[in-house]
Amino acid sequence: MDFYIENNWYIFLFLLLPAIGLCLFSFIKWKKKKRALFADLQFQPQLFANTSRFSKIFPSLFFLAVLFLIFSIIDVLGGKQEIKTQQKTNNIIYLLDVSNSMNAQDIQPSRLEQAKDIIINSFQKTNNDRVGIIVFAGEANSIMPLTTDYNAAQSYLSGIETSVVQTQGTDFLKAMEMAVRKFKSIPKGARKVIIISDGENNEDNESAAIKLAQKEGISISSIGIGTEQGAPIPDYYYGQLMGYKTDMTGETVMTKLETKALKNMASSTSGTFIDGNNLDQAINELSDVLKKSTNSNTSYISAQFAEHYYQYFLGISIALFLLIYFFNPKRDLNL
C-alpha cells in the first residue's frame, strides 16, 4: 500500500515544525536569561519553584502533537494499488458494403437495410466488445471508431445510405487498409473484421486483402447478402425511385450475390462465412462466431483510491494535547 498527498501544497505546513522548535528554544533561553538577571544562580532554587519532570518532556510532546495535527490537516491518502483483471473482449470492425448494388430488393426491404439490421441486432448479444464501422465501395471511409457505445453506433448506422461513398465498386483492399489503421493500438490476434457485402463487382483484390489481414493478425468473417437469382438495382434521386440501372445497350442491370471472394477471405483468415439472407439465423451465427473468437485479455490497472487516514492522526494529536493539559502540574508553560 502506497500513500500520497492529494494537495502537495500542504507539505509547506511542515515548515511550522522548525518554527515551533525555534520558538520553544528561544522561550527557554529567554526565561533562563531573565532569571539570571533577577538573581544569581545560587539563589534561584529558593526564589523559583522547582522545574517539574513533566517540563522536560513537554517540548517533545508538544512537537509531536503539532506534527500529528499537521498530518490530519493534509489528509494523507492511501493508496496506489495494481489491480489484475481478466476480461473477455472482442475488437470488431464492421466493413459495410454501400455500393449501389446493396440497394437491390431481392432481400426485403433491401440488402443494405438487412445488413444494418444484422449489425444492430448483433450489438444486443455483445457485452464488453468494442465495435467500429467502416463503409466502403470503390473507396473506404471510417464513420465510427472502436467504442462500446452501442447506442451511438446504432445512430450512425441508421443514417447510412449508398450515397455516403461516391466512388462505386467493391474494393475489399481499401476497406482492409482502413481497418488496419483503426486497429493500430490493438494487439495482433485480437483484431476481428466482419465484412457484410453482396460480393459483386469486386476489384479482384481479395487476395491482397487476405495477405494484409494475415500480416496484421486480423480474422475475417464475411456475411453475404443477396440471392443468386438477383434483382435490378434501384436508381434513386433525392430519395425518390426514378427507375432501375441500365447498361450501355439499355438493358436492366441485374445484381447477384457473389460468394467466392467472401468465402475465400473468411477461410484464409480463420474466419467464417455466414449467409445473411435469413436475419435471425445470421444474427445467431454471428453471435456464435464472436463468442468462439473472444480473447481473454489480462490487464493491469494502476489505480488510486481515496482512503482517508486523517482521523487517526487527529486522534493521536488530541491525545497528546490532553496529556499536556492534564499532566502539566500548573497548567501552564512552567519550563
Statement to judge: residues 194 and 285 lie in one domain: yes
| pTM exceeds 0.85 for this model | no
Concatenating the DSSP letter of every residue in 26-52 gives HHHHHHHHHHHHHS-GGGHHHHSPPPP
Contact present, 205 and 172 (Cβ < 8 Å): yes
CA angle, corner 258, sides to 189 and 182, nearest 5? 30
Domain containing 226 equals: 91-293
147 and 69 belong to one structural domain: no
Q: Is residue 238, in this structure, part of any structural domain at all?
A: yes
Domain presence at residue 335: no
Considering the domain architecture, whether residues 103 and 71 belong to the same structural domain is answered as: no
Residue 308: which H helix or E strand, with range?
A: strand 295-308
Let me know whether 153 and 269 are in one domain: yes
Cell numbers at 248, concatenated: 450501355
**pLDDT tens sequence for the chain (335 residues):** 454 555 566 667 777 778 877 887 787 788 777 766 666 666 556 555 555 666 677 778 887 888 888 777 776 544 455 555 555 678 899 999 999 999 999 999 999 999 999 999 998 887 778 899 999 999 999 999 898 889 888 988 988 998 899 888 889 999 999 999 999 888 887 899 999 999 987 677 889 999 999 999 999 999 999 999 999 999 877 777 888 888 888 899 899 999 999 999 999 999 999 999 999 999 999 998 888 755 545 455 555 555 666 788 888 889 988 888 887 755 544 44
Q: Report phi then psi at 186, rounded to 5.
A: -100, 130
Residue with cell 493534509: 74
The CA distance from 245 to 254, in Å, is: 8
How are beta strands 231-232 and 130-136 bridged, if at all? unpaired
In a domain, 286, yes or no: yes
Q: Same domain for 253 and 288?
A: yes
Distance set, CA 170 to CA 24, 38, 200, 206, 300 (Å): 86, 107, 7, 10, 41
* One domain, residues 106 and 233: yes
**Residue in 66, 8, 115, 54 with CA at minimum distance from that of residue 333:** 54
Q: What is the pLDDT of residue 1?
A: 46
Residues 141 and 123 in one domain: yes
Domain count, the chain: 2
333 assigned to some structural domain = no
Phi-psi region at 248: left, alpha or beta (left = phi > 0; alpha = psi -120 to 50): alpha
